Amino acid sequence: MALLLGMSGLAVGAGPADAAPLKDPEPKASDSKSSKKKTKKKAKPRATKPDCGRAEAGAADSIPGVPWQQKWLSPERLGPLATGYGQVVAVVDSGVNDEHEQLKGHVQSGYDTVRGTLGGNEDCVSHGSGVAGLIVAAKVGSVGLRGIAPGAQIMPVRVTNAAPASGPDSSEKTTPAKVAAGIRWAAKNGATVIEVSSAFGYDGGLCGATKYAVGKGIPVVAAVGDLHDATLSVDPATYPAACDDVIGVGSVSENFTVSSSSVANGTVDLVAPGDGVISTNRIAGQQSYDGTSLAAGLVAGAAALVRQTGPGLTPGQIADRLAATADPVPGGQLSISYGAGLVNPYRALTERAAAAAPVHIDGVAAPTVDVVAERIESARDHGRVTAVAVATGVLGTALLLVVLALCLPRGRGRGWKPGRAAPVRSTPAQPVLPDEESPFALPEAQRG
């Protein structure tokens, strides 16, 4: 409005030409004091940690073996290509403990929407710490676990004091409004990738928050949830995974088949290991975790690696790269359970898109089963087997009758006494004697 007034030629606050200039009134004593109070600098809020109380989860033992998800993702191959350096991954979950030996130096103070204050670097239930460990866990001693982006930083955004929707018998202990506030806070305070562990059955302001983050160039990765209903062909949509431009992540088990609890619907863009994955406990040691939120953590780590190597890529381009380089899965490509396939960070870092337009490749048609034809063929096979069996039986019976016809008369003639074969007569061989002269033979001289 002030700009419009200035353009119309009206001088704001000016009167007639002969009017005396206006003077500021003399400040009163009370005004002076209030002015001084207003000029005082406000104290900067300090980050504090929540009191976990009885909800505090204990430490776990160290696990020396290499976790199965790590054998697949091979962070040792990723290290020479990218480590996530310079990337800040916001983990919107139950908080992240910054004192674990594998997480120290990689966890910022963050924010806590549960208490409405700074300080998300505490995890009372040991869940957000597990998601963070899959991303940035450092190699320590004989422990096998190592994060896929150990050079990144974690921005913990605490939105719940419970594990996010870990199964059909549990519900979210937070609200879409708190999660949306956490997403917005992360987008405003330096996050370069945002991971969301919670999943809701309605928007509740989540899509507005993710749109804000994506608009600032920040990829948002969200778990699709662990409330799969086996009685439904397609699960209801879950948020924020269902929001535009959000990467929805499902979970697979060690044999790379979809987890039984992983939601199956059109919000699944990718899958990643989520069943029985090993990651950091909230205090010390490592433990096993299950759920799509763990899978989302791995995809968020992969997004951080891609963003490090391609800082100019948009969230959409990062999502496209992860989808284009995903590996095939048992459920087939672009299914409601698996999305584009199993995330492969190594391929995402090493493969480049072709300059030419994509070439369509026809898929293999799914086998069709004609129940009627199958039953007819089965009946025919059964008929063939029966016919062969009957023919064999008839032939065997006929041979038996022939044998009986030959043997019965002879047996009846002998009075059913056993017969003996006639002995074979043989002439004994005559001995062969050597040639010798007979005593009655004439002398050789007299033989004519």
Domains of the chain in sequence order: 53-350 (3.40.50.200)
The answer on pLDDT for 64 being more than 50 is yes
pLDDT band for position 420 (cuts 50, 70, 90): low
Contact yes or no for 106/138 (Cβ under 8 A): yes
> From the candidates 100, 112, 123, 127, which is the catalytic residue?
127
Higher-confidence position of 433 and 321:
321
From the list 166, 197, 293, 337, the catalytic residue is 293
Of the chain, the percentage scoring pLDDT greater than 90 comes to: 52
pLDDT at 112 over 90: yes
Q: Between 57 and 205, name the one with better pLDDT.
A: 205
Active site residue 127: yes
Highest mean pLDDT among 246-255, 378-387, 412-421: 246-255
Please give the pLDDT value at position 400: 80
pLDDT digits (tens, 9 = 90+) for 213-236: 999 999 999 999 998 988 999 999
In this prediction, residue 436 carries a pLDDT of 52
pLDDT at 383 over 80: no
* pLDDT value of position 390: 78
CA distances in angstroms from 223 to 69, 91, 136, 233, 311, listed in the order given: 17, 12, 19, 20, 24
CA distances from 112 to 50, 91, 155, 240, 336 (A): 9, 12, 11, 19, 34
Q: Which of 110, 290, 97, 89 is nearest to 195 (CA)?
A: 89
> Averaged over 252-260, what is the pLDDT?
91
Tell me whether residue 98 is one of the annotated catalytic residues.
Answer: no
Which pLDDT value is given to residue 27? 46
Tell me if residue 100 is catalytic.
no
Using one digit for the tens of pLDDT, what is the confidence trace for 292-326?
Answer: 999 999 999 999 999 999 999 999 999 999 999 99
Choose the weakest-confidence range: 253-262, 279-288, 408-417.
408-417
Catalytic position from the list 93, 226, 235, 290: 93
Q: Which two tokens stand for residue 58?
A: 């204990």
- 205, amino acid identity: G
Quick one: average pLDDT of 388-400?
80
For residue 329, count CB atoms less than 10 angstroms from its CB and return exposed for 0-12, middle for 13-18, buried for 19 or more.
buried
pLDDT-derived band at 363, boundaries 50, 70, 90? very low
Alpha helices in 205-363 (DSSP H): 206-215, 292-309, 315-324, 345-350
Q: Output the average pLDDT for the chain.
A: 80
